[in-house]
A = this chain, B = another copy of it.
Amino acid sequence: MNPTQLTDALRQQFDLTNYGQQPPELYDPIRYIMGLGGKRLRPLMTLLAASLFTDDYTLALKPAVAVEVFHNFTLLHDDIMDQAPLRRGMPTVHEKWNANIAILSGDVMLVKAYEQLLDIDAQHLRQALQRFSQTAAEVCEGQQMDMNFESRDTVSEAEYIEMIRLKTSVLLGLAMELGGLVAGADAESTQHLYDGGLNIGIGFQLKDDLLDVYGDPAKFGKQVGGDIIANKKTFLLIEALERAEGTVRTELLDWLGRDTFDKAEKVAAITAIYDQLGIRTLTEARIADYFQKGFANLDQVNADPVRKATLLDFAHQLVERES
C-alpha cells in the first residue's frame, strides 16, 4: 500500500468513527474539530510503520485514529489556554461554542482516544496503553513547560529542545511505535521506530521555527514573521539571545521590549540580526542533524527493504516540505 492508498483508508476510517451522540453540545465539537482535517501525518505514519511488518494494515487503523484524536484533543485544550480565535482558518471550539463546552468535549475526546486502543490484541494491549499513557502525560508536561516559558526572561537551548521533544515529538514517535507494535515488530525495531519519529519530530518543529522567518511567503501558508511579531521564544530567538553581544544585543532587546512598532520593520530588523549572528545556518544544521539521526534510526528497523523504502521516501518528502 502506498501513502495515497493509506490516506484514503484513513479518511474512510475517520468517517466511520462514531464519537458519540447525546448531548450534542458534547459531541458536535469533536466532529467539528476532527472535520477540520489537517494533514493527518501522525496516523499515516502509524499505518506506514505497520505496513513494514504486515499486509494487513487495517489492524493499525484504530490505533492510528487514537493518535489523531489525542492530537486534536490537545489542540482543542491548547486553543482555550492560548485564547486562539482560529484553528485551520476556522473558529476554534471555545469561540464557536464556549470555553466550558471546549473543556468538556476535550475531556471526552481523551476518553475516546483511549477507546480506540481497546481492540488491540491481548498480547500488545497493556504495552500499547502504557506507552500511550506515558506519551499523553509527556505532551501535557511539554505544554506546561511552554506556558512557563512565556513568563520567563530566558530559556536555554536545552530547555527548549526538551519542551518541543515533549510537546510535539514524542507523539510522532508514539505514532510510529504503535504501528510497529500492533503489527508484530520485534522490540528493537519498535524502539527504532519511536526514536526515528522522535528525532524527525524535533527536526520538524525546528523547521517550523525556521520557516516562520525564512519561509517563502508564497508556499508557507502562514504570515511570515508571526513568531517575531509575537516575541515567541523560538529556537532562533533563543540562539540569538545566547549569542548577541554589544550593540546587537542592545538592539535585539530594544525590539523585544517595544510595545508599539511597525510589524514589517520589526520582522526585517530581527531577521537582519539573525542573519548577522548566523542563526539561519546554525538552525539549518541542527535540523539536518535531527533528520539524519531520525533516518539512521529508521534504517535500523528490521524489515523488508522494499517496504522500508516506501516509508523512507515518504519521510524524505515530509522533511523537504516548505509549509
A residues contacting B by CB (< 8 A) are 20, 22-23, 25-26, 77, 80-81, 100-101, 103-104, 106-108, 110-112, 114-115, 118, 122, 125-126, 129-130, 133, 136-137, 140-141, 143-145, 147-148
Contact = CB atoms under 8 A, between A and B. Distances in A.
Contacts of A130: 115, 118
A112 B133 CA distance: 8
A104 B81 contact: yes
Nearest to A143: B104
B125 A111 contact: no
Given A110-B111, A122-B125, 16 more contacts: A20-B141, A23-B144, A23-B145, A25-B144, A26-B140, A26-B144, A81-B103, A100-B147, A101-B144, A104-B143, A104-B144, A111-B140, A114-B129, A118-B129, A122-B122, A125-B125
B81 A22 contact: no
Contacts of A20: 137, 141
Nearest to A82: B100
A145 to B, nearest CB: 6
B125 A137 contact: no
Nearest to A147: B100
